[in-house]
Amino acid sequence: MGAYDTETDGTAGAARAELVREIDADGAWAEDPVWREAFAKVPRHLFVPYYYVAGRSGYERRWGESPDRAARERWVRGAYEDVPLATRLRDGELLSSSSQPSLMARMLVALRVEDGDRVLEVGAGTGYNAALLAHRLGDDDLVTTIDLEPEITESARQHLAAAGCHPVVVTGDGARGVPERAPFDRIIATCELPTVPRAWVAQCRTGARILTPLATGLLALTVRDAGHAEGRFLPTPAYFVPLRGERRAQPEGVSLAGLPERARDQELFRFLLALTRGTLDPQAAYALWEREDRPGRERYGVTVGGEHARAWLDDPEGPYSWPLP
């Protein structure tokens, strides 16, 4: 970090241990406790030398090189809170963040990484997630992370080096994958996309797993071959910064006026609207949602086949399905 390394080491270590205890209590890695060691060892504060905290009058910038000792203390402790951290802003718009650690833990467990897997991460962010993957796999070369913004990839590369990690960091369009590093056994996206890019499926081995945010949910796909993949959403809600150049899944300007209050305030109904993306108008979506007993995320899935992708409810061959872009 700089002049404050020694000063922050003890505070960071204690705060990191407390974060691990919190995630333990949350049960995030109960199915794969090997991730506990990764979170206990990888120093998150090295990946967020500064970040922004929302306040009443805008964002407060916290940074590790502040001349004020109390400010440095707030920075290092804040780096280990179980919250997402805004790391890049432009004209008040969030461009990049470090995700909530407990959500990262759940996603990494859901990815079902095995020894020797080649992993592609789409959305390099701060580099922290790539460092966790590299620690778990014990081989930096098995991990590739990509982001569109050169500024982001360069800072991620610097953060990783400061933490002693050297996975492959690529600047490019994450929706196109990284064909020169394929084939992959796992792909994980840490940004929101409107659909599942066909390039990802094509760059995976048979049996590979893809985990990606979609329509405020987390979709887990199994690749059948170079052109086909299928899977369901996890129950966990997830809100991520969109992949740069892409729009959010929720159609803008959709009016929920005229619908019952329970629909307007219901997160799972809004998930259905985001997933169907205008294929169903809100009234038709609400009728379906009520008729099918207000289904949770885990009842929905996606099938990718050739040039087409479809979302569905309960059964890919059932009566309810909708095209994705």
Domain boundary among the residues 204, 237, 270 is at 237
Question: Using CA atoms, how far apart are residues 308 and 71, in angstroms rounded to an integer?
Answer: 51
Q: Is 230 a member of any domain?
A: yes
Q: Are residues 127 and 192 in the same domain?
A: yes
Per-residue model confidence (pLDDT) at position 264: 61
Q: Are residues 305 and 194 in the same domain?
A: no
Q: Is 136 a member of any domain?
A: yes
Token code pair at residue 262: 């329970």
Closest CA to 169 of 102, 234, 217, 124: 124
Per-residue model confidence (pLDDT) at position 4: 42
Question: Using CA atoms, how far apart are residues 117 and 111, in angstroms rounded to an integer?
Answer: 11
DSSP letter, residue 100: P
Q: Which residues are catalytic?
A: 96
Bridge partners, 186 (sequence order): 119, 209
Q: Are residues 231 and 276 in the same domain?
A: no
Per-residue model confidence (pLDDT) at position 5: 53
Q: Are residues 111 and 158 in the same domain?
A: yes
Q: Are residues 167 and 71 in the same domain?
A: yes
- For residue 252, is it left (φ>0), alpha (ψ between -120 and 50) or beta? beta
Q: Are residues 232 and 273 in the same domain?
A: no
Q: Is 182 a member of any domain?
A: yes
Q: Are residues 195 and 303 in the same domain?
A: no
Q: Are residues 115 and 225 in the same domain?
A: yes
Q: Is 73 a member of any domain?
A: yes
Q: Are residues 209 and 281 in the same domain?
A: no
Question: Using CA atoms, how far apart are residues 63 and 79, in angstroms rounded to an integer?
Answer: 10
Per-residue model confidence (pLDDT) at position 251: 47
Closest CA to 119 of 100, 146, 96: 146
The string of pLDDT tens digits covering residues 291-301 is 999 999 999 99
Q: Are residues 147 and 217 in the same domain?
A: yes
In 91-183, the DSSP E strands lie at 93-98, 119-122, 143-147, 168-171
Token code pair at residue 72: 């440095």
Domain boundary among the residues 190, 222, 237 is at 237
Q: Are residues 177 and 43 in the same domain?
A: yes
Q: In order along the chain (325 residues), what is the average pLDDT of each group of 10 residues?
A: 54 95 93 95 96 84 92 95 90 80 96 98 96 97 96 96 96 97 97 91 97 95 96 92 57 64 77 88 91 96 91 96 90
What is the b/e burial string over 151-190, where b = at least 16 CB atoms within 10 angstroms of the residue's CB? ebbebbbebbeebebebbbbbebbbebbeebbebbbbbbb
The string of pLDDT tens digits covering residues 68-84 is 999 999 999 999 999 99
Q: Is 252 a member of any domain?
A: no
- Domain count for the chain: 2
Instruction: Show the domain range for 222.
Output: 5-237
Per-residue model confidence (pLDDT) at position 265: 62
Q: Is 251 a member of any domain?
A: no
Residues 6+ apart with CB under 8 A from 4: 64, 65, 72
Q: Are residues 12 and 116 in the same domain?
A: yes
Q: Is 246 a member of any domain?
A: no
**Domain harbouring 19, CATH code:** 3.40.50.150
Q: Is 66 a member of any domain?
A: yes
